[in-house]
Structure 1
Amino acid sequence: MKKNKYVFWGLVITTLISALDANIMQTASPTIVKQLGGMEYFAWIFVVYMLASTVTVPLYGKLSDMYGRKNLLMFAVGLFTLGSILCGLANSMVMLILFRGVQGLGAGGMIPLSMIIVGDLFTIERRGKIQAVFSSIWAISSIIGPILGSFFVEALTWRWIFFINIPIGIATILCLIPYKEQIEFKKTHIDYKGFFMFGISITLLLLSTNIKNSLWYIIIGMIGLIVFVLVERKESQPFLPVSLFKNKGILMTNLYMLVYCLAFFGTSNFIPLYLQEGNQMSIYKSGLILLSIAVGWTFGSTPAGKWILRFGYKILFIIGSFITTVSGLALYLFITDLSYISLFVILTIQGVAFGLIFAIGTIASQEFAEPQIKGMSTSLQMFLKNIGTSTGVTIMGLIINHNANIHIGMKNVFLFALVLSIINIFLSFLIPAKTTAFSKST
């Protein structure tokens, strides 16, 4: 158990690295561009990282089922740290973008592999509490990340936003070294052809959300996915195992989580913007509103494991869907009239639903899966969450930009999310109540 404690802290630090990087970069990137030049490449600092970290998630899951989680996570953290060093040394925007890609290749394995290890080590009951800790880290990082970014830029140099990852990465690896995996992993053939077809198709579709005149990216990406499915049906050991989609629990849970992230999870990106532009609120105060979601998330995810054992998955997905929909309806109807406190309360309630849904979704992806594909199942859901969130944020951004003002735009964003949340209510009734046997892992 003592070794597990070290592993737990290693996973916590891994989550901290990922969370801080995402939030610090938002603050520091304008200064970086001013110093390095190349304003036309500004968006690519984020796009390249997002592409690399998203497309590689399923591959990490597949490899973890074959070679184990520990060494692969240490490799991912090491690659991320190497990318951080290179980013800190970059002297041009092109170099920075290239090295951000290296960072992204490492980041693609850090969070999924951490969740898989949690699934291997801890019982269902404890996993909800652990995920509450991880979600709290993301929430706190959304507040302190911009502050740290400002500090590094003003007091030191922007390069320290990358160099700070070096001691954190080393600490993570040291915490993971004592961990001894108890599971036997079976080495099988890796369908690299399928991975590259899948990766290229998804990359084109993700690029279409960030590039003007993107129709051809969408068309070629969709054709690529169709070809991928046709080819994989004939593959004896496909990159995405057919059993993942024949399993009703995995199929319906993943479809649910995709729509859920497409709907409401991205709305939090725009609430601070709405408060700043629509209500002339300070950056600091508008950012603090996100603590409401963090508080609610903790209350929703902490008891999720106990509730799964008592009530099963279906009823919890249904309850979470109704809470999300009702709170979303309140935001749609009253967003322009809500006081700061009222908005905080509604977002806290919605945060409870987020915490519950994300906890039981992750646990379901592990418990519905057979042991030999647990890593692939967990990473597939993580991948679909990323796709849903990225696509949802893009659509919401377009909705806001194509309305007369931020008030109308925000109401229409919540209308879009509300429609999809109603679809989620329907999907929640199709999810099985229980797995054949709940995990007994310790």
Structure 2
Amino acid sequence: MNKNKYVFWGLVITTLISALDANIMQTASPTIVKQLGGMELFAWIFSVYMLASTVTVPLYGKLSDMYGRKRLLIISVAIFTIGSLLAGLANSMVSLIIYRGIQGLGAGGMLPISMIIVGDLFTIEKRGKIQAVFSGIWTLSSIVGPVLGSFFVETLTWRWIFFINIPIGIATVLCLIPYKEQNQFKKTYIDYKGFVLFGLSITLLLLATNVSEPLWYVACGIVGMVLFLLVERKVEQPFLPVSLFKNRGTLMVNLYMLFLCISFFGTPNYIPLFLQEGSHMNIYQSGLILLSIAIGWTFGSTPAGKWIIRYGYKHLFIIGNLICTLAGLVIFFVIKDVSYFLLFGLLTVQGFAFGLLFAVGTIASQEFVENDIKGMSTSLQIFIRNIGTSIGVTVMGLFINHAATMVIGMKNIYLFALCVSVLSIVVTFFIPTKSPVGNEG
């Protein structure tokens, strides 16, 4: 267990640099554009990272089932660290975008493989507590990241938002070296043709959320997905294992997480903007309200493992979803005149539901399948969450941009979330109470 302690800290550091990088660019990017030029390419600083880190998630999961978690995590951290070094040395916007893409290729494996290792090392009871720590890191990073970005820009140089990742990446690898994997990994065939079709299709669909005329991207993405499905049907060992979709528990949990992320999981992204524009609060006070999510998440995620043993998956999904929906319904009705502290309290309740649901969802993705595809199952769920969140945040952004006032825009995104949550509520009743493959012991 002493060695596991070092591994745990390695996973914490991995999560920290991944979370900080996702948030630190917010305040540094305007300065970067001023120095490097290429304002027309501004959005690609974020888009290329998001695309690379999302599309590669399932591939990392597949490879981790074949070659082991430790090796793949070290490789992903190394790619991310090299990308950070290159990004810090970039002398043009085009080169920075390329190097951000390399960062994203590494980041695609860092979070899912960390979650897979947690599933390998710790019992169900302990996994909820550990996921609470990781989730807290992400939420706190959304507050600390922009502040840290401002510090580097004003005190040192924007290049340090990338250079800081280098010693942290080295420390992560050193923490992972003592880890001795107990699982046996079996090398199998990888359907790279299927992965390329899958990757291109998802890339086109994600690009549709970042361009002014998305219809061609959506159409080509859908055609690509149809081709992918046709090809996969004829492959003996498809890129996405058929057993993942024949397993009713895995299918329903993934479908549920998709609806959850499309609906309420994206709403907190717009709360700071609402407080700044609608209530004229400063950036620090508006950002601080996101601490409510972290606080609630901790209380919801920590006991999730024990509650699974006692109450089963289905009941926790139903209860968590109802809590999330009711909190969202109250926010919908009071958003016009809501006080800061009432909103903080309601978001804490919703954070509790998020913590419970995400912890139960992650554990279910690992316990509902056999050990030889646990990595693929875990990474697939994280991939689906990313897709759902991208869809939800994009649609909500359209509501905000086309609303007459900020209050109307916020009411519209919560109405949208409430409508989608009806689908997630229906799905919860089809989720098994216990693991179909009996891994709870």
**Into which bin does the TM-score normalised by the smaller protein fall?**
over 0.9
Q: 2-side partners of 1:206 and 1:62: how far apart?
A: 22
Corresponding residue for residue 57 of structure 1 = 57
Shift of 1:439: 3.8
Shift of 1:25: 0.6
Q: What amino acid sits opposite 1:267 in the alignment?
A: T
Shift of 1:403: 1.0
Kept after mapping to 2: 8 A contact 1:85/1:163: yes
Matched, 1:375 2:385: no
Q: What amino acid sits opposite 2:204 in the alignment?
A: L
Secondary structure in structure 1 of the residue aligned to 2:266: helix
Matched, 1:10 2:7: no
Shift of 1:23: 1.1
Matched, 1:267 2:267: yes
Q: 1-side partners of 2:273 and 2:303: how far apart?
A: 32
Matched, 1:99 2:85: no
Corresponding residue for residue 74 of structure 1 = 74
Q: 2-side partners of 1:253 and 1:421: how far apart?
A: 14
Q: 2-side partners of 1:400 and 1:243: how far apart?
A: 40
Q: 1-side partners of 2:41 and 2:358: how far apart?
A: 34
Q: What amino acid sits opposite 2:258 in the alignment?
A: L
Matched, 1:239 2:242: no
Shift of 1:46: 0.2
Matched, 1:157 2:157: yes
Q: What amino acid sits opposite 2:119 in the alignment?
A: G
Kept after mapping to 1: 8 A contact 2:309/2:440: no
Corresponding residue for residue 437 of structure 1 = 438
Q: What amino acid sits opposite 2:428 in the alignment?
A: S
Kept after mapping to 1: 8 A contact 2:244/2:251: yes
Corresponding residue for residue 130 of structure 2 = 130
Q: 2-side partners of 1:143 and 1:383: how far apart?
A: 24
Kept after mapping to 2: 8 A contact 1:10/1:172: yes
Q: 2-side partners of 1:13 and 1:313: how far apart?
A: 30
Gaps of 5+ in 2: none
Shift of 1:231: 1.0
Kept after mapping to 2: 8 A contact 1:320/1:353: yes
Kept after mapping to 1: 8 A contact 2:81/2:103: yes
Kept after mapping to 2: 8 A contact 1:79/1:102: yes
Q: 2-side partners of 1:128 and 1:389: how far apart?
A: 22
Shift of 1:422: 1.8
> 1:224-246 CA distances to partner (integer Å, 9 max, x unpaired)?
10111111011100000100000
Q: What amino acid sits opposite 2:399 in the alignment?
A: I
Kept after mapping to 2: 8 A contact 1:86/1:99: yes
Q: What amino acid sits opposite 1:111 in the alignment?
A: L
Corresponding residue for residue 251 of structure 1 = 251
Q: 1-side partners of 2:250 and 2:302: how far apart?
A: 22
> 1:86-137 CA distances to partner (integer Å, 9 max, x unpaired)?
0000000000000000000000000000000000000000000000000111
Q: 2-side partners of 1:217 and 1:11: how far apart?
A: 36
Q: 2-side partners of 1:61 and 1:174: how far apart?
A: 22
Corresponding residue for residue 175 of structure 1 = 175
Kept after mapping to 1: 8 A contact 2:300/2:352: yes
Shift of 1:43: 0.3
Kept after mapping to 2: 8 A contact 1:400/1:406: yes
Q: 1-side partners of 2:213 and 2:144: how far apart?
A: 37
Q: 2-side partners of 1:89 and 1:244: how far apart?
A: 42
Q: 1-side partners of 2:18 and 2:419: how far apart?
A: 31
Q: 2-side partners of 1:167 and 1:433: how far apart?
A: 44
Gaps of 5+ in 1: none
Q: 2-side partners of 1:226 and 1:113: how far apart?
A: 28
Aligned alpha-carbon RMSD (Å): 0.6
Matched, 1:276 2:276: yes
Q: What amino acid sits opposite 1:186 in the alignment?
A: K
> 1:59-103 CA distances to partner (integer Å, 9 max, x unpaired)?
000000000000100000000000000000000000000000000
Shift of 1:147: 1.2
Shift of 1:438: 3.0
Q: What amino acid sits opposite 1:176 in the alignment?
A: L
Q: 1-side partners of 2:428 and 2:137: how far apart?
A: 28
Secondary structure in structure 1 of the residue aligned to 2:49: helix
Kept after mapping to 2: 8 A contact 1:324/1:421: no
Shift of 1:166: 0.4
> 1:23-64 CA distances to partner (integer Å, 9 max, x unpaired)?
111111111001111100000000000000000000000000
Count of matched residue positions in the alignment of Structure 1 and Structure 2? 440
Shift of 1:261: 0.3
Secondary structure in structure 2 of the residue aligned to 1:265: coil
Q: 1-side partners of 2:329 and 2:114: how far apart?
A: 34
Q: What amino acid sits opposite 2:384 in the alignment?
A: L
Using the size of structure 2 for normalisation, the TM-score is 0.99
Shift of 1:256: 0.2
Corresponding residue for residue 119 of structure 1 = 119
Q: 2-side partners of 1:408 and 1:420: how far apart?
A: 18
Kept after mapping to 1: 8 A contact 2:19/2:137: yes
Q: What amino acid sits opposite 1:219 in the alignment?
A: A
Using the size of structure 1 for normalisation, the TM-score is 0.99
Q: What amino acid sits opposite 1:284 in the alignment?
A: Y
Kept after mapping to 2: 8 A contact 1:258/1:385: yes
Kept after mapping to 2: 8 A contact 1:272/1:289: yes
Q: 2-side partners of 1:439 and 1:24: how far apart?
A: 39
Corresponding residue for residue 318 of structure 1 = 318
> 1:396-416 CA distances to partner (integer Å, 9 max, x unpaired)?
000111111111001000000
